[in-house]
Structure 1
Amino acid sequence: MKPLYYHNFDANDWFIVICILLSYAIAFRLPRAFPRPLTALVALFGITLAKSADHTLGIKPLDFYDTNEIPVFDAADLATWLLYPVAAYLFVYAYHRMRIRGLWHTAFILAGAIGAAGFELLCLAFHVFSYKEWTLAYSFVVYLVSQSLTIAFFRIAKRSYLAAKGRLRS
């Protein structure tokens, strides 16, 4: 196994560290909205979905973009993985707390995709991503799909959790 490569700590690394600290600080300061098992499932789903997309689109044979400054997996790439679970949690948290219903689902997912694309634009400015044959418009579509899947997963997991909890009480 090759050792984990690391380069000089620079602006994009600081950007990642600051994003990690801020996002987790926000997440841990929020009042708990749903049970811990559901939180863990949402976080796990978020990282699984994101890494599946990254490994499908960001490596050969497609290889549309690189994460961070070099096309080799390094410690900074590993650090970016910490952002995916908390992003999924915060997205689902907002969805749950806002009690999104009906046609507002579409508006919420659209707003989430716009916010995610805006954050990716900021990531591009700090060289967290380097596009090869990719555009922000493609990312926007991926965000629409992934956030729709995340909401669907949360709704199914929540329903299953509540049903199982009800059966346990009987």
Structure 2
Amino acid sequence: MIPKGTVFDSNEIFILIIGALAYLVMFLLPKYFSKQQTITMLLIGNYISTFFDNTVCINPFNYYNINDTPYTDFWDLLSCVMFSPFGYFFVYLYAIIKKNRTTYFFYISMWSLIAVVAEALAWRVGVYHYKNGYQLFFSLPIYIIVLTVTMIYYQFFIQKR
């Protein structure tokens, strides 16, 4: 349900289209994980994006606003849900590729760059509004940490089963 009086602009359209496409692709891919594992990965993706966005968006940092206002609204919640499938894609593709010792580094590096490009697109359409000197490349270490933790989750809780 979309709140009454909502006017769609580029950031809302971006959230709807990217979110719908991401979930569509996720559901069309051959099933590799159990339903519980899939739901857990989606919840982790949602939690991590919400955690970091709420950490850097509030005082004392206050480095950016999400969407049109500095307050959490319906579209902010949808933007967090929109990013959930990307964590799933990260684990899904890693699970099906051939791996060796150097794969971890290159895979996390590649996905960190994909995340920065996705953030740049979201910034361009107005999902993110940087302030107080925040720069796009400041997000790179956050993505590296998040993807490394996600990889650890995969190694210990999914791959071992």
TM-score calculated relative to the size of structure 2 = 0.91
Q: Secondary structure at the match of 1:31?
A: coil
Correspondence for 1:74: 73
State the distance in 2 between where 1:95 and 1:83 align: 21
Q: How does 1:2-41 map to 2 (within 5 A)?
A: 7-41=6-40
Correspondence for 1:49: 48
Q: How does 1:15-164 map to 2 (within 5 A)?
A: 15-133=14-132, 134-159=134-159, 162=161
Q: What fraction of aligned residue pairs are identical, expressed as a percent?
A: 26
Aligned length, in residue pairs = 158
Q: Which has the larger radius of gyration?
A: 1
Deviations 1:113-147 (A, max 9, x none): 00010011111110000011311111111111111
Distance 1:121 1:138, change over 3 A: same
State the distance in 1 between where 2:100 and 2:4 align: 46
Query: How large is the Cα RMSD of the aligned pairs?
Result: 1.7
State the distance in 1 between where 2:136 and 2:157 align: 30
Contact 1:46–1:85 (Cα < 8 Å) also in 2:
yes
**Deviating more after overlay: 70-79 vs 13-22:** 70-79
Distance 1:144 1:132, change over 3 A: same
Q: Any stretches of 5+ residues in structure 2 without a counterpart? A: none
Give 1:99 shift.
Answer: 3.6
Contact 1:42–1:154 (Cα < 8 Å) also in 2:
no
Contact 1:113–1:147 (Cα < 8 Å) also in 2:
yes
Tell me which amino acid in the other structure corresponds to 2:74: A
Deviations 1:52-105 (A, max 9, x none): 111111112211111112111111111102123211111111111114331111
Q: Any stretches of 5+ residues in structure 1 without a counterpart? A: 163-170
Deviating 4+ runs (over 4 angstroms): 4-7
Contact 2:67–2:129 (Cα < 8 Å) also in 1:
yes
Contact 1:110–1:144 (Cα < 8 Å) also in 2:
yes
TM-score calculated relative to the size of structure 1 = 0.86
Tell me which amino acid in the other structure corresponds to 2:11: N
Correspondence for 1:167: none
Tell me which amino acid in the other structure corresponds to 2:128: F
Q: Secondary structure at the match of 2:106?
A: helix
Contact 2:45–2:86 (Cα < 8 Å) also in 1:
yes
Contact 2:115–2:143 (Cα < 8 Å) also in 1:
yes
Give 1:107 shift.
Answer: 0.3
Contact 1:5–1:75 (Cα < 8 Å) also in 2:
no
